[in-house]
Structure 1
Amino acid sequence: MKILLAEDDPASREALVGLLECEGHEVISVERGDEALAVLADVNPEVLIVDYRLPDINGLDVLSELHAARRLPPAILMSAYVLSDRVRAVAGALAARVLRKPIAVTELLGALPRAGTLSLREVRGRP
């Protein structure tokens, strides 16, 4: 599975890339939200994994912008912080799975098949 990972913490990014590649996934990683938006069309990932707190824009804004442009792939939003019910609701409306850091390996790997099997209609919110 081709995965685009947006994570600003170098140690976390390296660990996630290593884990996902060991599981046979192709991972393209960036550290900023604007980079994720810029490379998404060229990369065409099957899944987007994005951290909530990025140095430029937050992960929810990345998801919202992609959703508005009808370019949002199945997504996983990660956060080390407790997210408000509103943020969780918006993420859910965008068909994003929310995972709390530190993420258990089994939790992340278990979220991938679900994220990767969402249809484009589900992601775009169409019947």
Structure 2
Amino acid sequence: MRILLVDDNPLMQQVLSHYLESQGYTVVVAEDGAEALALGQQGGFQVCMIDMRLPDQEGPEILAALRALPSMRTCPAIAVSGLGEKDRGRTLAAGFNAFLAKPIDLDALVRTLEHLAEPGSEQAVGVI
């Protein structure tokens, strides 16, 4: 599974990339919305993980821009937030398929990825 990770925090990028790659996933990192959009145009991602707060754009704006691309239209998206429950409702309204609060429970992350990999899951919006 190829994952687009959109997060501006170098430590978060490193920890998540290292862990996910050790679990057999391929991770491509974007530091901001512009880089995420450029990578999204290339396609080939099965899931995107997007931080809700980035310097140039917020997560819902990035998701909307990515979903406007033919190659990313049905790509499941996980919202990641340091504000915890405050962002949970907003993620559903924005079209995210799942929500994880920071600090991320790595076991919950893998369960979420496995769920999103199931056929048809990209159509079901829910919070995990």
Q: TM-score range by the shorter chain?
A: 0.7 to 0.9
Decide whether aligned partners of structure 1 residues 118 and 5 sit closer, same or farther in structure 2, where only a CA change above 3 A counts: farther
Q: Which stretch of structure 1 is more off in the superposition, 69-78 or 8-17?
A: 69-78
Partner of 1:40: 40
- Inter-partner Cα distance in structure 2 for 1:47 and 1:41: 14
Q: Tell me, in whole angstroms, the C-alpha distance in 2 between the residues paired with 1:109 and 1:4.
A: 15
Deviation of residue 117 (structure 1)? 2.6
| Equivalent residue, structure 1, for 2:76 | 74
CA offsets per residue over residues 32-72 of structure 1, 9 Å max, x none?
01111111121420110111111111111111223344533
Contact 1:33 1:62 in 2 (8 A): yes
Stretches of structure 1 that go unaligned for 5 or more consecutive residues are none
Q: Match for residue 118 of structure 2?
A: 117
CA distance in structure 2 between the aligned counterparts of 1:11 and 1:107, rounded to whole angstroms? 19
Which residue of the partner structure matches residue 90 of structure 1?
93
Unaligned runs of 5+ in 2: none
Q: Identical aligned pairs, as a percentage?
A: 31
Residue aligned with 1:8, SS? coil
Q: Alpha carbon RMSD of aligned pairs, Å?
A: 2.1
> 1:14 is aligned with what amino acid?
Q
Amino acid of the structure 2 residue aligned with 1:48 = C
